[in-house]
A = this chain, B = another copy of it.
Amino acid sequence: MWLKNAWYVAGHAAEIVPGTLVARRLLNQPVVLWRTDAGQAVAFRDRCPHRLVPLSMGKHDGDAIVCGYHGMRFGADGMCNHIPAQEQIPQKARATAYPLVERHALLWIWMGDAAQADAALIPDLHWMQSEGWVPSEGYLHIAADYRLVTDNLLDLSHESFIHTRTIGDDVVAQTPVRSDVVNEHVVRAHREMPNIEAPPFFARLMGDPEARIDRFQTALFHPPGLNITFVKIRPAGATNQSFDGRATHMLTPETERSTHYFWAFARNFVLEDAELTDFVRQATAATFDEDKAMLEAQQLGIEEEPETPLPQLALRVDGAPMQARRLLAKLVSQERLGHVMKTAELQHV
């Protein structure tokens, strides 16, 4: 159901500050995220090796965390370096540390075979943290299989029915979509909507409630859980102007039926406008909340009929979601045979 040997987003980097222990279930494993005083972000299995209590109920102490039950102290490498009233430290006295890399303002965790954790395989999401881009970030918990969220993001015709208050209008669903499998780790779905009335979100981005725009939308999937919506808008016909947005959706399975949805909408225009940054954050959160309601209902519907294939009835808009499902299933099969996906090249639009 999910790849083990892959980088997953464990959190926005800014969430984890020294002194705070964050408990989070990832791929159905309990994880505690913390940061040393020196600034290194660390991920442990959230269980003390002594009596299985959560280490996240303990305390941060400089370059270590101390279990809140009996005081065992674990350094950033997971090794125990203090046990009260006991001088000898058993070899098994260690917390399980997962490879964790901080990049693009995100924490990337590798929960499979640690020997294969190669930071070069982390996909390039430089717009999350680079000059010329301003991200609006957020997080959403969704009580649904993460693959349903990818289905959702690769068939954006739903914007016309779910998101009419922000990014949706009749045009999206009426516009045919072109989808293709770019290569063995990228699926893409593209839609062009020239000379339309700007839906509310885009009208605000353009600063013009009456704006007519050309709208281009490319949804891209990279396994296991990365989706990027490349958004391009411009005043209708103004080929010399372009406003780019990159809605970046980082899906990490919490359990088989729930998902951590870390997201950011990065833009390359009007960078200094903090109010706009905040508007984008709020509008995006409101939009994804609408998806959440539908996805959670869908999850319940599917659980009642576990034998039913999905989609039960394939429409034209299901091309990209089905391609992505097949691609992911193939990678999971290959992983069982010992292969590890060896590239992070996204081949952007």
Measuring CB to CB, which residues of chain A are less than 8 angstroms from any residue of chain B? 30, 47, 49-54, 57-58, 66-72, 83-86, 90, 92-93, 151, 155, 157-158, 160-162, 173-177, 293-294, 297-298, 301-302, 304-305, 308, 310-313, 315-317
In the complex, which of the residues A52, A92, A305, A310 has the most CB atoms of chain B within 10 Å of its own CB atom?
Answer: A52
By a CB distance below 8 angstroms, the chain B residues around A160 are 71, 84
Closest chain B residue to A84, Cβ basis:
B173
Closest chain B residue to A298, Cβ basis:
B53
By a CB distance below 8 angstroms, the chain B residues around A294 are 53, 57, 68-69
Given A69-B161, A157-B70, A297-B57: A93 in contact with B313 (beta carbons within 8 A): yes
Contact A317 B85 (CB under 8 A): yes
Closest chain B residue to A151, Cβ basis:
B51
By a CB distance below 8 angstroms, the chain B residues around A158 are 69-70
SS class, residues of chain A in contact with chain B: loop
> Chain B nearest CB: distance from A15 CB in Å?
21
- A90 vs B315: C-alpha distance when bound (angstroms): 9
Contact A50 B315 (CB under 8 A): yes
Which of B51, B155, B301 is the one whose CB lies under 8 Å from A54?
B301
Given contacts A68-B294, A70-B161, list 9 more A-B pairs with CB under 8 A.
A30-B304, A50-B315, A52-B308, A52-B310, A70-B158, A71-B161, A84-B173, A85-B175, A85-B177
Contact B311 A54 (CB under 8 A): no
> Chain B nearest CB: distance from A191 CB in Å?
10
By a CB distance below 8 angstroms, the chain B residues around A51 are 151, 298, 310-312
Which of B49, B85, B155, B174 is the one whose CB lies under 8 Å from A173?
B85
- A161 vs B311: C-alpha distance when bound (angstroms): 53
- A67 vs B173: C-alpha distance when bound (angstroms): 13
By a CB distance below 8 angstroms, the chain B residues around A293 are 57
Which of B47, B83, B161 is the one whose CB lies under 8 Å from A67?
B161
- A278 vs B67: C-alpha distance when bound (angstroms): 32
By a CB distance below 8 angstroms, the chain B residues around A84 are 157, 160, 173-174, 317
- A68 vs B176: C-alpha distance when bound (angstroms): 19
> Chain B nearest CB: distance from A300 CB in Å?
8
- A151 vs B70: C-alpha distance when bound (angstroms): 12
By a CB distance below 8 angstroms, the chain B residues around A175 are 85
Contact B49 A162 (CB under 8 A): no
Contact B312 A70 (CB under 8 A): no
The 4 A-B pairs of least Cβ separation, nearest first, read A84-B173, A52-B301, A53-B298, A86-B316
